[in-house]
Amino acid sequence: MMVYELKSIPLYTNSSEQSYGWFIIYNNHSIVYEHTSYAHIQYSTISKDDINLFGLYGTDFKLVSNFSDGTMYIYWKDSQIAKFNFLLSNKAIETNLNSHVYHCRPFHLKSFIYDFNMFNAINSNGYMTNKYYSGYNGLILANNYPLKVKQYFSIDLMDHPKELAIITKLEKIKDIEYPKDNFIFSVIKNDKISKDNVQLNLLNDNVFKHKTIFKL
């Protein structure tokens, strides 16, 4: 992972309306991030190809998706405090501690609330972004069976200001005949398998969704 380039991403945005901004580090080492001292770059205008790292920065945090394998990282003041991955298998889990995600494409959404003073429109504070979603869409092989995967950071500043979540969504691909076996979805935090294991049946379940919460 491009740790040196990651340190060049600021810890705060230059925006009073947005606590977090997106950033991209490309495979050629070029860097683009949303808020600079001179401009606000629109996400819709940037290239979505040849990405190495993609994520959010702000409030001393950097939330990173590694597009080379799908691993996700949480940095605080440029120090890694968490590493996240998952394993999907129908065999006993012993030594294989990660899943490789292929063909990652960036996923980014945000929502905002508008602070309007109905008695004094001049003193209204405008809008504030209160929810952020940032990660990727890709493919994963579960014992050679392909699945769509969407994995992203989820931030809700209004309802859950002291935590963030990583949402993992797995979806079957149409016209593929999946096995009858039960699979085990296992969360891997900091290279250790947690006890947060869930069984799923690919024959019956078209979509599987899991939330992992990190306290801040």
pLDDT digits (tens, 9 = 90+) for 195-207: 778 888 777 888 9
**For the chain, what are the domain ranges?**
3-215
Question: Kindly report the CA angle at 76 between 56 and 210, in degrees rounded to 5?
Answer: 60
Give the Cα separation of 56 and 66 in Å (integer): 12
**Residue 51 confidence (pLDDT) above 80:** yes
The pTM of the full predicted model, rounded to 2 decimals, is: 0.89
**Residue 71 confidence (pLDDT) above 60:** yes
Give the Cα separation of 105 and 107 in Å (integer): 7
Q: Give backbone dihedrals phi and psi of 45, rounded to 5 degrees, phi first.
A: -95, -10
